[in-house]
Structure 1
Amino acid sequence: MKYLDSSQLENLTATFHAWMGRSNRPDVRLSRARVWLIYLLLRHCGAKLGEILALDDRTDFDFNAGVVRLGQCRDEDALPREVKLPNLVVEELLRRFDDPAFLGLRGTIFRMDGGYVRRKFYERGTECGLPKELSNPRALRHSRAVELLRNGVPLTIVQTILGHGSANLTAHYLSFTEQDVRNLVSYYIHKEARMKTSARNAFTGQVAQVRTGKILSEVSLTTPRGHHVVAVITNESLEKLGIREGMLVTATIKAPLVVLVKNDEAPTSSMRNRFFGHIARINEGTISAEVVVTVDEETEVCALITDESVRRLDLKVGDPIWGMFKAFSVVLTVE
């Protein structure tokens, strides 16, 4: 079973959105907007392509309830059902349906050739570096199922969303390799950490070493993903928290304290904590910008820098980059 992880899904979505707006021809823009809507529904509904292409945009959506009615096509082995849509998808559908360019297509907005849609999926996947086996509607269906299960949605609910007649069909999404199990453990540990702190950067791990000086102590911890974080705290804080080797602690770092260095090789710096990855997204404001760096499948580092720094460093999504912070910037929390 092939499926995309969260970072790959974000990159594919961003690639589709950018592709949609690149043409100046009205007819091409309209065609790309239709493919974009098909992508959004596949991404968030766990539906089959045939189910989306069979939709009637006039009758199969209930925007008051925020649902789409699926499973009406005759050539697909899927049960009729209603699937809840995220608010952002509802807003995008309403905006497109109200666009005058779509008026002549009402009722048939999703009636596109399946081969053409698949071809556009392969092209966008290639554009963002995905292999062909991950750049197709089936992979999106698998990805949504795995995403829901990993977020704690009960198996029977995922079964209903996918339109499976039996829970046994849905259960194969729970067959994971040993590496998948390790990734899941890491995911839930980090998810718990994020729920208990407002800091954007949270790393939960086991204390590997404690070095104590006259005033300060250095605490080194190792995360389930194998990353190392070093914190320097006062001896008083060490004693108060009861930190010792082998126990679980959470290290948090505020985003403004993370320094970005655009370099393929490890930079020369006194900073003890260094994470190498690629820029997953950049959220720019009028003065500041939030830069999220994907270190691995389950680890991200978020930095808050000025918009001028984004321009000066010429930061773009996909760029290799180092996210670094001082040991004195790390705050330790014990359960």
Structure 2
Amino acid sequence: MNASDSNLAPSEIFTVPEGIRLLSPEQAARLEAAFDIWRGTASRADHMRARERMRLIFLLLRHTGARLGEVLALDHDRDLDLTQGTALFGKNGNTREVPLPQGLCRELRRVLESPMAAGSQGHFLNADQGQVRRAFYARADQCGVPRELATARVLRNTRAVEMLRNGVPLAVVQSVLGQSSPELTAVLQRYSSQDASRIVRRLAMDDLRDKTSARNTFSCRVTDIVRDPVMAEIMLETAHGQRLCAVITTESLNTLALQPGTTVAASVKAPLVAVCANPAHTGGSRRNRLDATVTSVRSNPVITEINARTKFGQNVCALVSTKTAQIMGIQAGDTARFSFKALSVILNTL
């Protein structure tokens, strides 16, 4: 994957053909909340088990775009890798790996590694299709979503459109959904499962940027964790081999369920990023350092915004005082070193 692959931009225009049913973001959120409420009102252990099963089936359909039969056929011991965050769909040699969001992995692990799934021998997700449909219709009635939109087919369409609208290439969408078309596959480039995983995970990165005020966000993999009773040092590596470090509380470490191999988004607010016009500068006590080419410098009498791009295409932004910027004399085209402390890094799982 080249640098441009890590900077996928949403499609400027995307039209859904007439007759294709899909959920709006608000409807999808309401339907998911309805499953949460339904689970929370279970008064007996057998009811809780059944409702957890239906909720996990819904979440898998919602976040993978898989067919209902594929999800119900999963052997969770064999087909789900919750450490790597993947699900294996298909059979008879025609299989595909689909990336799973870390939040979904945590929910799957919470249920499948609990006594609730004991004795299921990998078949906790197996259920009757008619029973699944009735549960989905009931949740739709509960939250005011039309019944005809509470189906596996609509969830599949919704996931496909989400990916396409976020700039995921059609060939990758086909790979994730397990679709094959003789007319299309003859002319479209093939993508490896690794490429598909990296590209689809961009959805989570884009969503995170929309929800946070942090201007700098980097997709990373956890390589090592050093912890004591209070704090934890998280060593990170980007897809391009850049080494970063974050220091968080042990409580946050446990909440995020971080471990080596976990994919995370490392975010830093622009005012916490220091800039040095001399790339040879060590960055002082700041352990995270990125060299980048300045793309723009915008100032008012008090604050100056410095935007830059690394050689791998990552955007970096810093806010410094205008007086400091004037002393540095930094301008577009210059190479500068951007640095930030490990304590300034905010981590979110993808």
Taking structure 1 as the reference length, the TM-score comes to 0.49
Q: Which structure carries more relative contact order (alpha carbon 8 Å, separation 6+)?
A: 2
TM-score, normalization: structure 2?
A: 0.47
